Structure 1
Amino acid sequence: MGGLLFYDWSTLPFVILVLVLSFTIHEFAHAYSAYKLGDSTAYQFGRVSLNPMVHLDLFGTIMLLIAGFGWAKPVPVNRGNFKSPRLMGIIVTAAGPISNLILAFISLFVVALFQKYGWIKGMDKGTGDAISLFLELMLTINIRLFLFNLIPIPPLDGYRIIQDVVNLRYSESLLKFEQWASVIFLLVVFVAPLRRVTLDPYLGLGYDILRLFSRPIAWILGM
């Protein structure tokens, strides 16, 4: 996840723009998939929308900028409206992180197009630098959002997926884990030694995702 701790102040407007776009599409993906699978709860609350104002949580966005992690307003979902509550619950939950992965892929593809056809070279320096920075942030931040949201700690999407995957008899054990989850989460994020041995190596998987993406893109563009 990116925050002011990791970006220069000069990039702040671009970071904010990327976060607003990424958070909005992430939450829209949750809401839209739930609506298409038979639950109209999010639709009734106006969440099947690409309007950032209906998705962004002010404090969560501020925390992401300052501390490097944050959140948007959770999308209301009534799993009782699904024909297969657990399976469709997993699909709806996974739709958010997957949307970030798709945004990262699209960003890398556009970067490759610019490199292949030299479009940046034909622009003035200011415009070219701005476009390059925006695409770089769209790529890196969305990969981190994808990975971060799959961490199996509440309230992240990874934990919700675990809840739907595991047998119901383990639900009591999960409830006990939730009591300590927020403490574990804060320790991992804010205690530097713990972050270095847990969160940082995990987020480093983003480089492997980049390499994986680069192969089909290179094949498509003949690079």
Structure 2
Amino acid sequence: MEGILDMVQTLIAVLVAITLHEFAHGYVSYKMGDPTPKQMGRLSLNPFKHLDFLGTICLMVVHFGWAKPVQVNPYYYKNRKKGMVLVALGGPVMNFIIALLSIFVMGIILKFTGGQVTVGLMGDIIVFVYGLMQTMAIINLSLGVFNLIPIPPLDGSKILGAILPEDKYFGYMKYERYGYFVLLVILSFNVLRTPLNMMISSMYEGVWFVVSLLLQL
């Protein structure tokens, strides 16, 4: 039973993380004058509009993965480089906000229960919600951090475009078609797993420390 509940919590967390991540990309682009995300149906909270099958499986299994990229047209932006960076950051920033809110809810639960959960249905609900918020925080931190890696099609590759000269960036992006293969190698052989986990753990503990001070836990 516990395994089923863990799976349900992970599935909910993954769907929320991916949906709001991609929605944020599309919304930022749309607010800067680009109608493409809306025309492509990506300004939606329907998870199935945003799921990438392989990326979702990876996120479910190893907590690192990706979604189906939102198509945008930077020619609508007043400043194309700045616009692409803002759009790229939209997804990870949304994930970090969700993680922050999830940890805050965990703190509120501990504050009002004193860490003592009653038996019965109400106790089961509290335990489930606490576990869901914890999973939500971890999944969103993982998705946000992983997407900042500068490998196409991850968001970090778009941010890299604002740093590199245009000719070098487009030369780099010629290898975009190999990006998914590189990501699979990284995930299959645990390349970068240790530093990524250390970063995520530090962020989680840092936010938890701030929340604990705010709520005087």
TM-score (structure 2 length as normaliser) = 0.86
User: CA-to-partner distance for each residue in 1:24-45, whole Å, 9 max, x for gaps?
Assistant: 0001100111111111110122
The 5 A counterparts of 1:87-106 are 87-106=82-101
- The answer to which of 99-108 and 37-46 deviates more is 37-46
The CA distance in 1 between the partners of 2:178 and 2:56, in whole Å, is: 24
* Post-superposition offset of 1:177: 5.1
The CA distance in 1 between the partners of 2:85 and 2:170, in whole Å, is: 19
1:146 pairs, out of 144, 153, 165, with 144
Name the counterpart of 1:4: none
**Contact conserved, 2:160 with 2:169, CA < 8 A, in 1?**
no
**Contact conserved, 1:147 with 1:203, CA < 8 A, in 2?**
no
* Post-superposition offset of 1:8: 4.6
SS in 2 for 1:77: coil
* Post-superposition offset of 1:201: 2.0
- The answer to which of 46-55 and 71-80 deviates more is 46-55
Name the counterpart of 1:117: 112
Name stretches of at least 5 consecutive residues in structure 2 with no aligned partner.
Answer: none
- Aligned-residue identity in percent: 31
Name the counterpart of 1:202: 196
Equivalent residue pairs, number: 213
* Post-superposition offset of 1:173: 4.2
**Contact conserved, 1:86 with 1:165, CA < 8 A, in 2?**
no
Alpha-carbon spacing, 1:184–1:51, altered in 2? closer, same or farther (3 Å): closer
Q: Aligned Cα RMSD in Å?
A: 2.4
The CA distance in 2 between the partners of 1:47 and 1:180, in whole Å, is: 25
Name the counterpart of 1:65: 60
Name stretches of at least 5 consecutive residues in structure 1 with no aligned partner.
Answer: 1-6
The CA distance in 1 between the partners of 2:146 and 2:108, in whole Å, is: 28
